[in-house]
Structure 1
């Protein structure tokens, strides 16, 4: 048995949709992730797993199925807590890995939070903002989907270049992204900038 940890927004969505209730809360407990509060993760039985996490808001957009709601921003920007990153550590107070699979931009708050990270797993959806449009596989830019591009002056490589991070790894990579080709100029560029590309079956030990 396992437990679900989620923000208030996600827990409300689970509660409102009967499909999600096939995971009976009596068997799979649901627990609130309080923003910016470090907490020990426990299994369904309540015993600590030895892992501590801290959820924090990051720039993003509302989920696709919520874009029609009346309070969505003009650019579909999200409310605080709709898009989060997670700080993961082996015990409360120790060095951490940061998991940020979706992010619209690198703002000052995010850069400050990521400083001195042992490892960053970061949104690598697209290399250029118009990548999917140029490839002819979609009409949405990375910006429209709430995903920052890797390249460019407003991209994640430039935006996090001056942040002290021991290891940087791109994850959540779209199949149009040329960095997946290890022989591409784009792959060489991200490697030169100190980044790695995650791969299927990749394991890391900290």
Structure 2
């Protein structure tokens, strides 16, 4: 399995265009640029799938040689998108894909319903391309190129625009498996808690890409003097998740979805150095 981290920042990227906080100021001074969270995976190097579709998607695709179009004028290796949430920083990039000849969209029933209603991405895309939508449950789904994926519901936090909509499976983690190599990637950019079900999902993973939104639970209060805690916003802080990682020393751990307040987003490392804080464009195989 081939994996490329197209973007590694939380909503707004780093630095944010309208922000002069300490984190964004440090990023500008250091020349650090992180686009919003998105991952590309492929089993054969020819058919690629996105895990989320960030608002920065056009720039991210243009920077990824593996995802360049061809050999035909309108051929593209991109086959579909697996959505972990319905948040704007994970779905706005779908509109960039409207010129695809066909596109398959995977997500929970809650997420797909939200994209057909209050944020009508699905009907909009259907006017431009052949759109297929598939709700993911507890079973595996087969992806072009030989990969298999399974979703696990890890949270119930709705986007602001979806308040009042029913359902509980609003936040997913994905396990992507390559049966040919045995490689397993777990992708959980929004993880409110490390449950026993999530522990099981990661049991045989070669790499786990984790929620790195905040370093500290009270990070917003430390940096801005106000705001909620990381856990109240549906994010397990690094200071809580990182001590759990040495239990599986053979597994590679990476943090993504880094907020502009997170010192690790500029430093490129975590305090314990038990996990990686990769830059945009990092790629590897499993």
Same fold (TM over 0.5): yes
> Which residue matches 1:189?
271
For the 8 Å contact 1:4–1:28, the answer to whether it is kept is yes
Aligned partner of 1:6 in structure 2 is: 107
Per the normalisation by structure 2, the TM-score is 0.57
Q: What is the CA distance between 1:115 and its match in structure 2?
A: 1.3
Alignment deviations for residues 11-31 of structure 1 (CA, whole Å, 9 cap, x no partner): 211222473111108612112
CA distance in 1, matches of 2:161, 2:232: 14
Listed as ranges, the matches of 1:76-155 within 5 Å are 79=168, 81-91=169-179, 94-136=182-224, 139-151=227-239, 155=240
Is residue 167 of structure 1 aligned with residue 252 of structure 2? Answer: yes
Instruction: Report if the CA contact (8 A) 1:60-1:147 is conserved.
Output: no
CA contact (8 A) 2:220 2:261 kept: yes
Tell me the equivalent position of 1:201. Answer: 281
Q: Which residue of 2 aligns with 1:52?
A: 148
Q: Is the 8 A contact 2:188 2:211 kept in 1?
A: yes
User: What's the secondary structure of 1:58's corresponding residue?
Assistant: strand
Instruction: Quote how far apart the aligned CAs of 1:63 are.
Output: 2.4
Q: What CA distance in whole angstroms lies between the structure 1 residues aligned with 2:188 and 2:255?
A: 10
Q: Structure 2: how far apart are the matches of 1:87 and 1:188?
A: 24
Q: Is the 8 A contact 2:206 2:250 kept in 1?
A: yes
SS at match of 2:228: coil
- The answer (yes or no) to whether the contact 2:208–2:254 under 8 Å persists in 1 is yes
Distance of 1:101 and 1:182 partners within structure 2: 19
Give 1:30's aligned residue. 133
Deviation at 1:103, TM superposition (A): 0.6
Residues 149/18 of structure 1: CA separation in 2 closer, same or farther (3 Å cut): closer
Structure 1 match to 2:83: none
| TM-fit CA distance, 1:137 | 7.2
Larger relative contact order, structure 1 or 2 (CA cutoff 8 Å, min sep 6): 2
Residues in 1 aligned to 2:201 and 2:284: alpha-carbon distance in whole angstroms: 22
Provide the C-alpha distance between the structure 1 equivalents of 2:202 and 2:116, rounded to a whole number of angstroms: 32
* Structure 1 segments unaligned to the other structure (5+ residues): 42-47, 72-77
**Cα-to-partner distance string for 1:146-185 (whole Å, 9 max, x where unaligned):** 001111xxx11124442465200001011111112338xx
Question: Do the aligned partners of residues 134 and 24 (structure 1) sit closer, same or farther apart at CA in structure 2, a change above 3 Å counting?
Answer: same
Q: What SS does the aligned partner of 2:190 have?
A: coil
CA change 1:139–1:18 in 2 (3 A) is closer
Question: Are residues 160 and 166 of structure 1, via their aligned partners in 2, closer, same or farther at CA, if it must alter by over 3 Å?
Answer: closer
Inter-CA distance 90–70: structure 2 relative to 1 (3 Å threshold): closer
Tell me, what secondary structure is at the counterpart of 2:283?
Answer: coil
**TM-score normalized by the length of structure 1:** 0.78
